[in-house]
Amino acid sequence: MLKVASWNVNSLNVRLPHVQAWCAAAQPDILALQETKLVDEKFPAEALAEAGYHSVFSGQPTYNGVAILSREPAEPDDIVTDIPDFDDPQRRVLAATIGGVRVIDLYVVNGKEVGSDKYEYKLAWLAAATRWIEAEMKAHERVIVLGDFNIAPEDRDVYDPEAWHEKILCSTPEREALQRLCGLGLTDTFRLFEQEERSWSWWDYRMNMFRRKLGLRIDLVLSSKSLTEACGAAYIDVEPRRQDRPSDHTPVIAEFKI
């Protein structure tokens, strides 16, 4: 069984103890991280190696930053840190082949507000990422695309769809961009299974949103066809969000019978 997870940690410096504890408890084979907010020189590779994980990472000062942890002995290979033909200093993508699976970790642009410059950057970024992933899928049979998509796929992924109607994370162009990505042959593993209604992966820090159970599901694990057929479970582990000094996101997980 291959257990794969994604977690936006909102600073790995702050969240390293949370990641160590969660890995010890949940034992993921592969864990994709976003918003590490660490330059590569400061990545805690030794501490994670002591926990039994290889690390590959692509960071920058202050913002963004992605990493893929993989449980030994699988060695990450063929690492890619940039979308081809898309000039971008922001460290938002990381791909590696691990145990015959092409793992593509995405920290999708937030976009701030519909119509803003950042929104246009988000849509251009998504188009470029989709072109890249199309090529990756032609080159690899088993592909997992996971991360913080900063898009709620459907209204049922939003605590108040009317309030969020055509707002950032929910607008039609963003959802259509996600559909185009999924149209390459990728499936949102979470929806392969019956789930509790009102399941979220992110809750705003403000206004006691977590305690009030008001969030969005914007963190996804997508799988290519052969992996989708082998997917035995997909779920959200809300426990890390309950802990002291949590990330605003919680891990999302998929398990594959391979």
* Omega cis (within 30) before 61: no
Q: Looking at beta carbons only, is 95 or 109 nearer to DNA? A: 109
Q: Whose Cβ is closer to DNA: residue 107's or residue 256's? A: 107
Q: In whole angstroms, give the CA distance from residue 153 to residue 158.
A: 9
* The two structure tokens encoding residue 248: 């605003």
Residue whose tokens read 């999924």: 182
**Which residue's CB is nearer to DNA, number 37 or number 140?**
37
Terminal CA-to-CA distance of the chain, rounded, Å?
A: 5
Q: How far is the CB of 13 from DNA (least distance, A)?
A: 4
- To DNA, the closest distance from the beta carbon of 76 in angstroms equals 24
Closest CA to 67 of 98, 50, 100, 92: 92
Smallest distance from DNA to CB 92, Å? 9
Smallest separation (angstroms) from DNA to the CB of 41 = 12
Please state the closest distance from residue 14 (CB atom) to DNA, in A. 4
Give contact residues for DNA (rule: CB under 7 A).
10-11, 13-14, 37, 61-64, 109-110, 112, 118, 205-207, 245
Query: Residue 67 belongs to what H/E stretch?
Result: strand 66-71
Cβ–Cβ < 8 Å for 111, 119: yes
Active site residues: 107, 148
Instruction: Compare residues 16 and 230 and give the one whose CB is closer to DNA.
Output: 16
Kindly tell me which of 109 and 129 has the beta carbon lying closer to DNA.
Answer: 109
On whether the CB atoms of residues 19 and 12 are closer than 8 A, the answer is yes
Query: How many Cβ atoms from other residues are within 10 Å of residue 42's Cβ?
Result: 13
Q: Does the CA dihedral 8-35-187-55 come out positive or negative?
A: negative
Q: SS in 3 state form for 15-52?
A: HHHHHHHHHHHHCCCEEEEECCCCCHHHCCHHHHHHCC
Closest distance to DNA from the beta carbon of 120 (Å) = 13
In sequence order, the β-bridge partners of residue 147 are 106, 220
Nearer to DNA, 230 or 238 (CB): 238
Tell me the residue type at 240: P
Q: How far apart are CA 15 and CA 6, in angstroms?
A: 14
